[in-house]
Structure 1
Amino acid sequence: MKLTAQYINSQLAPYHTANKLFIGYSGGLDSHVLLHLLADIPELKNKLNAVYVHHGLQAEADDWASHCQQIAADLCVHFQCVKVNAQALSGQSPEEAARNARYQAFKKLLGKNDLLIFAQHRNDQLETFLLQLFRGAGLKGLSGMPAAINFAAGRLIRPLLEVEQQTIKDYAQQHKLQWIEDPSNLDTQFDRNFLRHQVIPLLEQRWPSLDKTVARVATHCANAQTLLSSNTKQQMNLIYEVDKQCLSIIGLRAHESLIQQLIIREWLELLGARMPSQKVMIAIQKDILQARADANPLIQHDGNNIQRYRDGLYLVASKNTPDLQQIITWIDKSQPLNLPDNGLLELKAAQQGIPKTVWQQNCIEVRYRQGGEKIVLPWRSGRHSLKKLYQEAEIAPWLREVLPLIYINGELAAVAGYWVSADFHVQDGECINLSWH
């Protein structure tokens, strides 16, 4: 096939109404060719943003950023350089750390109806498939990279996924493009490079059309995974509690072991967690699902804790506990409030709740439970201890001490996301309610 701007435009035809187009531009051969092609499409060029992610891992990274900025300027394309921390965590490979840092950077850029465009091609798909195969992946891993997928608030598109790399090289040479050669791409201590330089050339001597064949296999796996996932989601939704983002343990135990694993994987994907190893999965089934109802077993996975409370299976982020003695004054009472190590408080307009005038005209503070706090609730007589209210509402134990308490002029006025004190509550008027994320 011949690689042209018309071909790329046809791949992106369903997305011509996108607000902005962000291309991951490393300055390497593939992303340079894709940027050159996109810049030749008039109806897309004014929406195009070339993004260089600066990992800071190579001495030449500053020079590469300058090179990319110059190329973008030559093509009259908007450019931005985003610096990230790509240092690997304990147990994390350098490749994984760099990839995660890139993806997090792109997620922050994308707004609703925006596109992120990557330059991965058919040879990349072959490498990805083999990496997943050698790691013992299931259908999802063997499905390879999708040509289009939801990503953050927008979509991620790979318009070159059916194009072989030689075609991309031919285009670059024909147009006399100057691209960056990253020396780390030759380092075979990295799995992908080892496959690219040592394994795949040997395989292609025997099977010249290997990239096409594997792409076809990946498509078969993706189709099978889609059907399986659709059925599993139906099963999951029957035992998933949306508000608490938990699975019913009784509901899970009604299924056989294999279905349990599929539902748990679907649930973890919904919550944005990595897929667990088989060892972790077996531990969840044995140590949590089969535990006594009053037990509190915990499995660590991907920076999270998987644990149970009553009938619920929860994914709980492992994070620093906030300073429970601190008192946080809400200065700009018209804006959300970031809580140190404890998420975000947001305001919502409502017909009932805390009157807006009371909120704006008085001192608002956020504190944490110290013990003994009581609150008067609308439509209920007496004063109620927070301890008992938390138990009644089945609030998980790990949330109770960090639930933000809202004080107005020193008096307990609300528990964010749950109750407003009768002393500050009106049933009809211009009010605000609080949500805690």
Structure 2
Amino acid sequence: MAASATPRIADHPPVAVAFSGGLDSTALLHATTRSGAHVVALHVHHGLQPQADDWAAHCEHVARELGTAFACTRLSGAPPRGDSVEAWARQGRHRALHDMAIAASADLLLLAHHRQDQAETFVLQAMRGAGLGGLAAMPRLQWRDGLCWARPWLAQPRDAIRAYAEQHGLRWIEDPSNSEPRFARNRLRQTLWPAFPSAEAGLARAARWAQQADALAAEVAAEDLRRLSTPERLDLAACSRLSPARASNALRAWLGGHTAAPSSLVERLLAEWRHGSTASWPAPGGVLHAYRDGLHWAAEAAPVPPPGMVDLSRPGLYPQAEWRGAWLVEEVVSPGLAPARLTQLAQRAREGGEQFQHSPRSTLRSLKKACQEAGLPPWRRGGPLLFDGPLLVAVAGLGMDARAFAKEGEPQLAISWLEDSALPQREAGQEASA
């Protein structure tokens, strides 16, 4: 997408208004301008109608008449074959509005959605079988990526907006696509409101109730997850002792931190999991694993990285992007490894036949057995492994091999492995060059 330059307004950040040129956004731009705020009108040229160029010119003319700054972005490309034109346009519009508002130094973007829009969204989501999040429809205020998206007229009937526009003699665009029945929202407008003219207020009110219920469900889930989970593991045994509704609520919230899980997956997991079972469920972007009564998320497996060399002879954090984690090296009294041993370590995947010794007094075991005894899940046993020549030094998830420990009194460094999910908890200054 290419955006025209946006004028900077001095003194105070401008208020951005999404301005399509239609009735609702024209009235909103006019009312916002009359409030005395510094305003920038943002227009998105979708390129879907032959009149789109004329509409952009009309919007710029109206903005100049009102004394506001104006910016326009033309969407590039087209929706892939078979994809929804509405969804493609909506995604592109949101991205363009965000970028133009940020370029104008605005942190508030006003949208002209009104009560009928809210009621329609509620009905469309209900017909799709949406949960509370979908039935909550559009929020009045929402911060996303440093920008507050606000809908000040969400409780206003459209008749009031039309009356305002007519009172002030405003001119607006009538988009012919708003009457095309191939779009679901248009079909709804053509059938629902003529048949049930008083339904708008009740449906919008139902959306507000859904918003409250969704917020309450989020609070309950947050409280449950504080007791039942970490970012890496959900305690399924404890979750199963909750009421079915509360268990489903907690599970959906935990999954939301990892993937966009469909409701069918939540239902399957709750129905199929049994105490002590080991099972897996594919999910968007990865796999869910039940292991030792815990639920774990694993991102889609990447190709096994090739062997390489790494120097871990100084304290610090050494990210290994291909392995989706990092080695953390810290100074310790003991047990640890001599720094001289860590200057040229070979790093590779598990090949089979390796042996591991957890402590100087423990029995040397196969790496597979050591992983089982440590409770390391099967999907996290592939590595990386570190070798000093033929000697195994450390294994991601297991720790250091006791056969490589330094002698007492020598300077020592401890090596541990952090998954990507744990890395944000570390100080950025702890990173070191690998």
Q: How high is the TM-score relative to the length of structure 1? A: 0.63
Counterparts of 1:31 and 1:131 in 2: how far apart (Å)?
Answer: 22
| SS of residue in 1 equivalent to 2:181 | coil
Which position in structure 2 is the counterpart of 1:188?
181
Q: Alpha-carbon deviation of 1:162?
A: 1.6
Cα separation, partners in 2 of 1:25 and 1:346, compared to 1, 3 Å: farther
Match of 1:30 among 15, 24, 35: 24
Counterparts of 2:261 and 2:277 in 1: how far apart (Å)?
Answer: 28
Cα separation, partners in 2 of 1:37 and 1:314, compared to 1, 3 Å: farther
Which position in structure 2 is the counterpart of 1:293?
276
1:69-114 Cα deviation digits (max 9, x unpaired): 846984324555565774377xx75545654566677788999x94
Which position in structure 2 is the counterpart of 1:313?
295
Counterparts of 1:217 and 1:326 in 2: how far apart (Å)?
Answer: 56
Cα separation, partners in 2 of 1:315 and 1:325, compared to 1, 3 Å: closer
The question of 1:227 aligning with 2:216 is answered: yes
| SS of residue in 2 equivalent to 1:273 | coil
Counterparts of 2:401 and 2:59 in 1: how far apart (Å)?
Answer: 56
Counterparts of 1:262 and 1:38 in 2: how far apart (Å)?
Answer: 40
Counterparts of 2:376 and 2:112 in 1: how far apart (Å)?
Answer: 46
Cα separation, partners in 2 of 1:76 and 1:105, compared to 1, 3 Å: closer
Q: Alpha-carbon deviation of 1:249?
A: 1.1
Which position in structure 2 is the counterpart of 1:283?
268
Which position in structure 2 is the counterpart of 1:214?
203
Counterparts of 1:327 and 1:193 in 2: how far apart (Å)?
Answer: 58
Match of 1:248 among 211, 217, 235: 235
The question of 1:436 aligning with 2:420 is answered: yes
Residues 355 and 365 of structure 2 are in contact (CA less than 8 Å); yes or no, is this contact kept in structure 1? yes
Counterparts of 2:27 and 2:95 in 1: how far apart (Å)?
Answer: 24
The question of 1:160 aligning with 2:153 is answered: yes
| Residue correspondence of structure 1 range 368-379 to structure 2 within 5 A | 369-370=350-351
Give the letter for the 1:436 counterpart.
Answer: D
The question of 1:257 aligning with 2:229 is answered: no
| SS of residue in 2 equivalent to 1:189 | coil
Q: Alpha-carbon deviation of 1:131?
A: 1.7
The question of 1:119 aligning with 2:112 is answered: yes
Which position in structure 1 is the counterpart of 2:260?
273
Q: Alpha-carbon deviation of 1:214?
A: 2.4
Counterparts of 2:16 and 2:411 in 1: how far apart (Å)?
Answer: 47
Which position in structure 1 is the counterpart of 2:424?
none
Q: Alpha-carbon deviation of 1:122?
A: 0.9
Residues 117 and 157 of structure 1 are in contact (CA less than 8 Å); yes or no, is this contact kept in structure 2? yes
| SS of residue in 1 equivalent to 2:295 | strand
Residues 374 and 385 of structure 1 are in contact (CA less than 8 Å); yes or no, is this contact kept in structure 2? yes
Give the letter for the 1:254 counterpart.
Answer: R
Q: Alpha-carbon deviation of 1:231?
A: 2.9
Give the letter for the 1:295 counterpart.
Answer: T
Residues 27 and 64 of structure 1 are in contact (CA less than 8 Å); yes or no, is this contact kept in structure 2? no
Q: Alpha-carbon deviation of 1:251?
A: 0.9
Deviates further, 193-202 or 214-223: 214-223
Counterparts of 1:50 and 1:164 in 2: how far apart (Å)?
Answer: 24
Report the aligned-residue RMSD.
Answer: 5.7
Q: How high is the TM-score relative to the length of structure 2? A: 0.63
Give the letter for the 1:309 counterpart.
Answer: Y
Give the letter for the 1:293 counterpart.
Answer: G
1:239-265 Cα deviation digits (max 9, x unpaired): 12x230x32110122123233222223
| SS of residue in 2 equivalent to 1:213 | helix
Cα separation, partners in 2 of 1:203 and 1:285, compared to 1, 3 Å: same
Counterparts of 2:188 and 2:249 in 1: how far apart (Å)?
Answer: 30
Cα separation, partners in 2 of 1:26 and 1:306, compared to 1, 3 Å: farther
Give the letter for the 2:294 counterpart.
Answer: G
Which position in structure 1 is the counterpart of 2:126?
133
Task: State which structure, 1 or 2, has the greater radius of gyration over its C-alpha atoms.
Answer: 2
